[in-house]
Structure 1
Amino acid sequence: MASIDLKGVRKVYPGNVTAIHSVDLSIEDGELVVLVGPSGCGKSTLLRMIAGLETITDGTISIGADVVNNKEPAERDIAMVFQNYALYPHMSVRQNLEYGLKNRGTPREEIDRRVAEAARVLEIAPFLDRKPRQLSGGQRQRVAMGRAIVRQPKAFLFDEPLSNLDAKLRGQMRIEIRRLQRSLKTTSVYVTHDQLEAMTLADRLVVMNGGRIEQVGKPIELYDRPASLFVAGFIGSPPMNLLPVETLAAVAGATMPTLTPGADIVGIRPDQVVLGGGDGIALSGTVELIEPVGGESHLYVRVEGIEQALILVQQGRANVGEAERIDFVLPIQALHGFNRESGRRVE
């Protein structure tokens, strides 16, 4: 196991197209860090640079005490798990697990021990003599993870490994990956565009946007105190309500408090809006749409004078109907202030 350190890492493609802008990131030994962001934000490029599958233009990448800029992928002592499994179709599960170890000259007894242990941990022992085509998607992904585990590498790199699975399997595999990572204590970097995956898996979350890091921290820290408008709008489902202060002031009138100087955008999480009365900014509107999502309901409320519908979360079944008028309050302590020009949080 080893830490991973990126210092001033840049990636510029021909035509002066910058994919990664001077990234600094330190990943601790045994930590699971998730890179998350929209398509094209640079998260997969950054992962591939760590793996050695992409060259870097500037900066240094260290795995443990070694600078690996000029090392081939096979020399970096990392193991990757891909979304398409990358299994050899003509080999059995056992042969897929053994392949990398055989190439490295690992003794037969040690190969058998590691394969047996990985099969036990991943519960794939009954499938060792099957070919990949005879397995389900979830079973193939377990084999792909097993191939990484038997290597006993310094670090695991996961490139959207669950994107080919259905929702139920994704949930099961998230639990499996987190359990394995905690058990093995192997430094891991995980790329996904799915924020639920990111929030539930990560020790620390790295939100990327346009080849830059927007914010790094524990998932709940990013949810509670987003550092930028981008993070506020990206993290959370449903996303944070974001409103221009002047618009909110015009609609709220006398109930609008004085906000932090420099804040011209105000945000509030949908689950912190209070239905009915109470202390805060009092508003009323018409329920435009209700999304029942099991244990809670998402209400989209149209307020006159505000361009976009506001989203409210009500626990359990909605006790109002579509086209119904409702009153609600934005508690002052739940508001987040941002500066429109810089896009950053204002304290």
Structure 2
Amino acid sequence: MASIDISGVKKIYAGNVTAIHSLDLAIPDGELVVLVGPSGCGKSTLLRMIAGLEAITEGTISIDGTVVNTKEPAERDIAMVFQNYALYPHMTVRGNLEYGLKNRGTPRDEIDRRVTEAARILEIEPFLDRRPRQLSGGQRQRVAMGRAIVRQPKAFLFDEPLSNLDAKLRGQMRIEIKRLQRNLATTSVYVTHDQLEAMTLADRLVVMNGGRIEQVGKPLALYERPATLFVAGFIGSPPMNLIDVAYLRDKGVLALPDGTDLVGIRPDTIQLAPPEGPHITLNATVELYEPIGGESHLHMRLDGNGQLIVAAVPARTAVTEGAETALYVSTADLHPFNQETGRRTD
């Protein structure tokens, strides 16, 4: 196990295209950090620089206190799990698990011990004599993780490992990866564009945008107090509603910091009955009632400015499309932002 320290790291490609802008990030020993953001935000580039698959233009990356900028990937003592599994199709599962250890000259009895233990942890013992083509996508991904586990590396790097799986399998594998990381307590960096994956897996979440870090913190902390408009819109499904402060001035008790011109409202904080304490009242017309199981989403147009907003309400809420509805939001649930700076104002 080891800490990973990223200091002033920059990546510039040919043509003076900057993919990573002077980035700093400290990952403590044993932590699972998830890098999340839209396509092209730099998360995979950063992961590949940690792995040694991309050169660093500026700055340093240290693993276990040793600067690894000039070290080859094989010298960094990390194991990487890819989205395409990267298994050898002509080898059995056992052969895939053993391959890296054999190349390192690991003694036979130690190879057997590690393979047996990894197969037990991942529940792939029945598949050891099969070839990858005989396995399902989820089973292949377990084998790919097993190949990483037997290495006993200082850190695991995951590059969107679940993106090729269907929704049900992704949910199952998220649980497996979280359980595995907790049991092994190995420092892990996980890249995904899927915010549900990010929220459920991460000890700490790193939201990236345009090659920069927007915010770092516990997943729920980012959800409950986004530092920027980008994080407010990216984290959360449905995303946060953003309303012009001028529209809200006469809607109830509203005391906001100077410089606030946008107010964010999470869909799940909108209520259909007045809450206790200070609150604002909005009037809207329901355009679409969307039942999704445990809750329903109301897509509504605000009276007066016509903005479309979304409320997440309990399932079977008695609201009909076309109805005019009063909405209530506690002032404690308002998120003030400045549109020009893109940052929170409180």
Structure-1-length-normalised TM-score: 0.97
1:56 paired residue number: 56
1: CA distance, partners of 2:254 / 2:179: 46
2:209 paired residue number: 209
1:236-251 equivalence runs, <5 A: 236-249=236-249
Q: What's the secondary structure of 1:109's corresponding residue?
A: helix
Query: Does the 8 Å contact 2:253/2:331 carry over to 1?
Result: no
Alpha-carbon deviations, 1:150-194, whole Å to 9, x = none?
000000000000000011100000000000000000000000000
Query: Does the 8 Å contact 1:248/1:306 carry over to 2?
Result: no
Q: Give the number of equivalent residue pairs.
A: 344
1:188-199 equivalence runs, <5 A: 188-199=188-199
2: CA distance, partners of 1:70 / 1:52: 8
Q: What's the secondary structure of 1:274's corresponding residue?
A: coil
2:326 paired residue number: 327
Q: CA deviation at 1:254?
A: 5.6
1:125-274 equivalence runs, <5 A: 125-249=125-249, 253=250, 255=252, 257-274=254-271
1: CA distance, partners of 2:294 / 2:72: 49
Q: What's the secondary structure of 2:258's corresponding residue?
A: coil
In the alignment, residue 86 of structure 1 is paired with which amino acid? Answer: A
2: CA distance, partners of 1:185 / 1:308: 47
Percent identity over paired residues? 74
2: CA distance, partners of 1:323 / 1:5: 54
Query: Does the 8 Å contact 1:83/1:159 carry over to 2?
Result: yes
- Pick which of 202-211 and 277-286 moved more: 277-286
1: CA distance, partners of 2:215 / 2:313: 29
2: CA distance, partners of 1:292 / 1:44: 35
Q: CA deviation at 1:284?
A: 1.1
- Pick which of 321-330 and 161-170 moved more: 321-330
Q: CA deviation at 1:50?
A: 0.2
Q: What's the secondary structure of 2:299's corresponding residue?
A: strand
Q: CA deviation at 1:65?
A: 1.5
2: CA distance, partners of 1:307 / 1:261: 26
Query: Does the 8 Å contact 1:276/1:326 carry over to 2?
Result: no
Given the alignment of the two structures, is residue 102 of structure 1 paired with residue 102 of structure 2, yes or no? Answer: yes
2: CA distance, partners of 1:136 / 1:38: 28
Give unmatched runs, 5+ long, in structure 2: none
Query: Does the 8 Å contact 1:11/1:20 carry over to 2?
Result: yes
In the alignment, residue 333 of structure 1 is paired with which amino acid? Answer: A
2: CA distance, partners of 1:225 / 1:269: 11
Q: CA deviation at 1:285?
A: 1.2
Q: What's the secondary structure of 2:81's corresponding residue?
A: strand
2: CA distance, partners of 1:255 / 1:248: 8
Alpha-carbon deviations, 1:221-248, whole Å to 9, x = none?
1011100000001001111111111233
In the alignment, residue 282 of structure 1 is paired with which amino acid? Answer: T
Q: How large is the Cα RMSD of the aligned pairs?
A: 1.0
Q: What's the secondary structure of 1:255's corresponding residue?
A: coil
1: CA distance, partners of 2:318 / 2:80: 48
Q: What's the secondary structure of 2:2's corresponding residue?
A: coil
Given the alignment of the two structures, is residue 299 of structure 1 paired with residue 317 of structure 2, yes or no? Answer: no
1:310 paired residue number: 309
Q: CA deviation at 1:288?
A: 0.7
2: CA distance, partners of 1:276 / 1:118: 53
Alpha-carbon deviations, 1:253-309, whole Å to 9, x = none?
363523211111100111111113344111111111122111100111111233431
Q: What's the secondary structure of 2:102's corresponding residue?
A: helix
Q: CA deviation at 1:338?
A: 0.6
- Pick which of 315-324 and 274-283 moved more: 274-283
Structure-2-length-normalised TM-score: 0.98
In the alignment, residue 147 of structure 2 is paired with which amino acid? Answer: R
1: CA distance, partners of 2:302 / 2:279: 16
- Pick which of 321-330 and 109-118 moved more: 321-330
Query: Does the 8 Å contact 1:10/1:56 carry over to 2?
Result: yes
1:280 paired residue number: 279
2:344 paired residue number: 345
2: CA distance, partners of 1:172 / 1:141: 12
1:15-30 equivalence runs, <5 A: 15-30=15-30
2: CA distance, partners of 1:291 / 1:66: 53
1: CA distance, partners of 2:113 / 2:254: 67
Q: What's the secondary structure of 2:46's corresponding residue?
A: helix
1:120 paired residue number: 120
Q: What's the secondary structure of 1:6's corresponding residue?
A: strand
